[in-house]
């Protein structure tokens, strides 16, 4: 259907980092959060996973759970070591008689040693117990240094903080139609020199073989000076577009995926930030237009940007063959 049709228009690009063989692809290429939808195998997990990068990019709640679990696990481990050497070597635990009381005394002594707090009520006695306590205090110093570095890295890591509309739409545009999506910043950062790049992946049949072709879509406006409000990114579907003259059914058959990359300069970080996402053909709304998401404040003192309306749209009349002219 579309193989020779597309070759007469935009040239497909080869340097996307993804293969052209559709038969080996699993689902979408890019996840909505911008990560690549793949798993690496062939070498041990400890060699193919960077713990630092994993902890740096981990969700905040999950990161806190990992830190809490790590802290608790170390204390449990050392508490059992103190019990193994004998809780009587912990001066100040004479009142503990049951196993639970002895374990809790050892556990809280471990937490005080690990954090180098050392209240003084319980203290180690004997060579082995002192050796374990000194080893734990060293581990505590190193562990808290690493955790502090991770927390600082998570707070200081430059991020774009972009909010993308959950759907892209096919809307009337000038004398024809256009593919549109909307983006806005949701933090109090300021992005300048904002640049958008959109690549569409289309799955086609060529010589009885499933292939994936990538096309960089030309945009009505690919760069703006400042992203203070929202930005509707527009690809006008003209004769040079790989989407030209395709119906809704044909789009679904190609299992189209649109990959969006935004680059900008962040004034706060004084650094270039980047964020990407992707949309599949299932997220395309046919015959719609975005509704305004900002307005003047009631007292006319400032502009009100309503981020919860990033995906607000209304349906509009469209032709039966939605991507073609007449």
**SS3 category, 59:** coil
Say if residue 90's pLDDT is above 60.
Answer: yes
**Which residues, at least 6 apart from 279, have a Cβ–Cβ distance to it below 8 Å?**
167, 168, 181, 257, 258, 260
The answer to whether 323 touches 290, Cβ cutoff 8 Å, is no
pLDDT band at 22; cut points 50, 70, 90: low
**Token pair 């002192």: residue:** 130
Identify the helix (H) or strand (E) that includes residue 147.
helix 127-156
Q: What's the pLDDT band for 210 if we cut at 50, 70, 90?
A: confident
Q: Give the span between the Cα atoms of 57 and 63, in whole angstroms.
A: 9
- The whole-number average pLDDT for the span 52-80 is 93
Positive/negative CA dihedral, 198, 199, 201, 202: positive
Task: Report yes or no: 105 and 96 within 8 Å, Cβ to Cβ.
Answer: yes
Q: Please compute the mean of the pLDDT values over residues 102-119 and round it to a whole number.
A: 90
Mean per-residue pLDDT over the chain, rounded: 86
- In tens, the pLDDT along 234-261 reads 999 988 898 888 888 888 888 899 999 9
The average pLDDT across 222-237 equals 94
Q: Return the closest-CA partner of residue 277 out of 150, 203, 146, 182.
A: 182
Q: How far is 185 from 306, CA to CA, in rounded Å?
A: 11
pLDDT at 6: 44
- The average pLDDT across 75-83 equals 94
The model's confidence at residue 129, banded by pLDDT at 50, 70 and 90, is very high
- pLDDT, average across residues 24-34: 76
Contact 293, 310 (CB under 8 A): yes
Residue 16 predicted with pLDDT over 70:
no
Tokens of 312: 């607000």
Mean of pLDDT values over 288-312:
92
- Beta strand segments in 44-150, E: 90-91, 123-124
Lowest mean pLDDT segment, chosen from 97-111, 282-296, 311-325: 311-325
Residue 167 CA to residue 191 CA, distance in Å, equals 23
User: Which is nearest to 232 in space by CA: 171, 304, 286?
Assistant: 171
> Looking at per-residue confidence, does 46 or 187 come out higher?
187
Q: Which of 5-9, 201-205, 267-271 has the lowest mean pLDDT?
A: 5-9
**Domains with residue ranges and CATH for the chain:** 3-38+159-315 (2.60.40.1400), 47-156 (1.10.287.70)
Q: Nearest 10 degrees: CA dihedral of 32, 35, 36, 41?
A: -130
């Amino acid at each position: 259907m579309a193989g020779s049709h597309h070759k007469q228009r935009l040239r497909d690009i080869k340097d996307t980092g993804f293969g052209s063989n559709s038969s080996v692809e699993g689902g979408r290429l890019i996840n909505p959060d911008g990560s690549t939808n793949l798993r690496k195998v062939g070498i041990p997990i400890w060699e193919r996973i960077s713990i630092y990068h994993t902890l740096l990019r981990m969700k905040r709640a999950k990161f806190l759970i990992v830190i809490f679990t790590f802290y608790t696990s170390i204390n449990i481990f050392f508490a059992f070591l103190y019990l193994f050497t004998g809780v009587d070597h912990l001066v100040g635990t004479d009142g503990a008689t049951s196993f639970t009381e002895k374990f809790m005394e050892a556990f809280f002594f471990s937490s005080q040693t690990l954090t180098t707090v050392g209240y003084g009520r319980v203290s180690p006695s004997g060579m082995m117990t002192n050796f374990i306590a000194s080893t734990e205090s060293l581990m505590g110093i190193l562990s808290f240094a690493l955790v502090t570095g991770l927390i600082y890295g998570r707070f200081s890591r430059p991020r774009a903080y972009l909010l993308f509309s959950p759907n892209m739409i096919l809307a009337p545009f000038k004398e024809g139609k256009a593919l549109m999506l909307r983006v806005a910043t949701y933090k109090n950062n300021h992005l300048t020199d904002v640049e958008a790049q959109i690549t569409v992946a289309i799955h086609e049949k060529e010589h009885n073989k499933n292939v994936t072709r990538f096309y960089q879509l030309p945009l009505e406006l690919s760069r703006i000076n400042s992203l203070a409000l929202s930005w509707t990114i527009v690809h006008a579907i003209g004769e040079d577009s790989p989407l030209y003259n395709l119906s809704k059914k044909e789009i679904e058959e190609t299992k189209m995926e649109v990959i969006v990359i935004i680059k900008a300069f962040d004034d706060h970080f004084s650094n270039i930030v980047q964020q990407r996402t992707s949309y599949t053909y299932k997220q395309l709304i046919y015959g719609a237009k975005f509704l305004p998401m900002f307005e003047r404040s009631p007292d006319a003192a400032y502009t009100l940007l309503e981020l919860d309306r990033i995906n607000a749209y209304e349906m509009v009349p469209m032709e039966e063959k939605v991507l073609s002219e007449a």
